[in-house]
C-alpha cells in the first residue's frame, strides 16, 4: 500500500527536481527519501523518475502518478482544515502570491487589518508574475494568488474582488496633458512606455490599443522591468506616457496627480481576483481574505458594470 509519506516525497522530488533539496524540504535525510521512493516504485512496479538526468525529471508514467498524488495530498489536507473550521478556528499559514502591478498598492490597504482581525493566521506573501503563481498553485507551494483575470485556466477557480480603471499618466510637457479626456487611438504612439514581457498589464495595454507592431524608436531607451513606480519616474524625467492601474493612480500626490488622465467614451477595467486550485476548498480563511480585501478598496470598485473589461490572454 502506498503511503501519504511516500506520495509527499514523490511530489517534493517533482517540485524541486533534486533529491537532496526535496529531502531538506521534507525534513528527512536524502537516503531515507530515496529508500521510500524506491519502495513506492517497487509497489507500483514502475519507475517514477529518470535519475540519469540532471535535474531529475519524472518518467511519462511518473508524471501521471505524481499528479494524482498531488490531488490525494491536497484532499488529505482538507481534513485538518475542515476540522479547524468546524471548531470555529482560523489559524495556520496562508501562502499568497501577488503580481507586481497589484502588490505595492493593495497589500498596504488590507494586510495589517487582516492580521489584526485574524492574529492566528500567518500570512506569507510573495511577489510573482502570473505564470509563476499558476505553477506554484499547481505544485501546492501557494494557497492562493491575487492577480488579473480571466485566466482561462480550467484548473483554477477565480473569485473576482474588484475592477480597477486603466488610467493614463503622462509627462507634464506631453501634448496629452492638454486634453481633459483621451481617446484610445491617442495613445497608439511610440512615446508610450510599457512594462516588460511577462506582465499582464503590458498585455492589457497592447490589447486595448492594438499596439502589437508599434515601433518605439522615439523612446530614449528600452525599459525591461515590472515596476510602475519606476516607469512614472522615468516619464517625469524623459517624457512620454504610460498606463497605470487605478490604485497606483490614487497614490499620486501634488503635481503628479494633475498628470493623470482618463479615457473618453469608455472606462477600461482590469479584473483583480483571488484564485486557487480546484483542490483547495473554499474555506473560511479564503472567504475572510476576500472580504477583508473588498472592504479595503473603494466601495465602487467591486462593480463590474462601471466600465469595459479588458482581457490580457
Strand-pair category, 49-50 with 57-58: antiparallel
pLDDT at 260: 94
List, as one string, the DSSP characters of 123-163.
EEEEE--HHHHHHHHHTTS-SEEEEEE----TTEEEEEEEE
pLDDT at 146: 98
Strand-pair category, 260-263 with 241-245: unpaired
pTM: 0.76
pLDDT at 208: 82
How far is the C-alpha of 168 from the C-alpha of 163, rounded, in Å?
A: 16
pLDDT at 100: 93
pLDDT in tens for each of the 313 residues of the chain? 899 999 999 999 999 999 999 999 999 999 999 999 999 999 999 999 999 888 999 999 999 999 999 888 888 877 776 766 666 667 888 999 999 999 999 999 999 999 999 998 999 999 999 999 999 998 888 999 999 999 999 989 999 999 999 999 999 999 988 887 788 888 888 888 888 877 788 888 888 876 655 555 555 556 656 789 999 999 999 999 999 999 999 999 999 999 999 998 889 999 999 999 876 655 788 889 999 999 999 999 999 999 999 988 8
Q: Which domains does the chain have, with CATH numbers?
A: 4-85 (1.10.10.10), 90-154+279-299 (3.40.190.10), 163-268 (3.40.190.10)
How far is the C-alpha of 257 from the C-alpha of 32, rounded, in Å?
A: 60
Beta strands in 150-259 (DSSP E): 156-170, 181-182, 241-245
Residue 154: HSE in the Cβ half-sphere, 13 Å Cα cutoff: 0
Helix (H) or strand (E) holding 285: helix 284-296
Q: How far is CA 38 from CA 33, 34, 42, 96, in A?
A: 9, 6, 6, 34
> In 3-state terms, what secondary structure has residue 275?
strand
Amino acid at each position: 500500500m502506498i503511503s501519504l509519506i511516500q506520495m509527499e516525497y514523490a511530489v517534493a522530488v517533482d517540485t524541486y527536481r533534486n533529491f537532496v533539496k526535496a529531502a531538506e524540504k521534507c525534513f528527512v535525510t536524502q537516503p531515507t527519501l530515496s529508500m521510500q521512493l524506491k519502495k513506492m516504485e517497487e509497489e507500483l512496479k514502475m519507475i517514477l523518475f529518470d535519475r540519469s538526468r540532471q535535474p531529475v525529471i519524472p518518467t511519462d508514467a511518473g508524471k501521471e502518478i505524481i499528479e494524482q498524488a498531488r490531488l490525494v495530498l491536497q484532499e488529505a489536507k482538507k481534513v485538518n482544515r475542515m476540522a479547524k473550521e468546524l471548531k470555529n478556528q482560523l489559524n495556520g499559514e496562508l501562502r499568497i502570491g501577488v503580481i507586481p502591478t497589484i502588490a505595492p498598492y493593495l497589500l498596504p490597504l488590507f494586510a495589517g487589518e487582516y492580521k489584526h482581525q485574524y492574529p492566528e493566521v500567518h500570512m506569507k506573501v510573495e511577489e510573482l508574475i502570473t505564470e509563476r503563481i499558476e505553477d506554484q498553485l499547481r505544485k501546492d507551494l501557494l494557497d492562493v494568488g491575487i492577480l488579473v483575470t480571466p485566466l482561462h485556466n480550467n484548473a483554477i477557480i477565480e473569485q473576482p474582488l474588484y475592477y480597477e480603471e486603466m488610467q493614463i499618466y503622462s509627462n507634464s510637457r506631453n501634448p496629452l496633458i492638454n486634453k481633459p479626456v483621451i481617446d484610445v487611438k491617442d495613445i497608439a504612439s511610440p512615446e508610450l512606455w510599457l512594462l516588460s514581457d511577462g506582465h499582464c498589464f503590458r498585455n492589457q495595454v497592447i490589447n486595448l490599443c492594438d499596439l502589437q507592431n508599434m515601433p518605439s524608436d522615439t523612446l530614449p531607451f528600452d525599459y525591461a522591468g515590472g515596476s510602475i513606480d519606476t516607469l512614472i519616474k522615468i516619464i517625469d524625467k524623459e517624457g512620454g506616457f504610460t498606463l497605470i492601474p487605478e490604485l497606483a493612480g490614487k497614490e499620486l500626490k501634488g503635481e503628479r496627480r494633475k498628470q493623470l488622465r482618463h479615457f473618453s467614451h469608455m472606462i477600461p477595467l482590469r479584473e483583480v481576483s483571488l484564485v486557487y486550485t480546484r483542490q483547495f476548498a473554499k474555506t473560511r480563511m479564503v472567504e475572510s481574505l476576500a472580504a477583508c480585501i473588498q472592504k479595503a478598496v473603494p466601495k465602487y470598485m467591486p462593480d463590474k458594470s462601471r466600465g469595459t473589461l479588458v482581457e490580457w490572454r
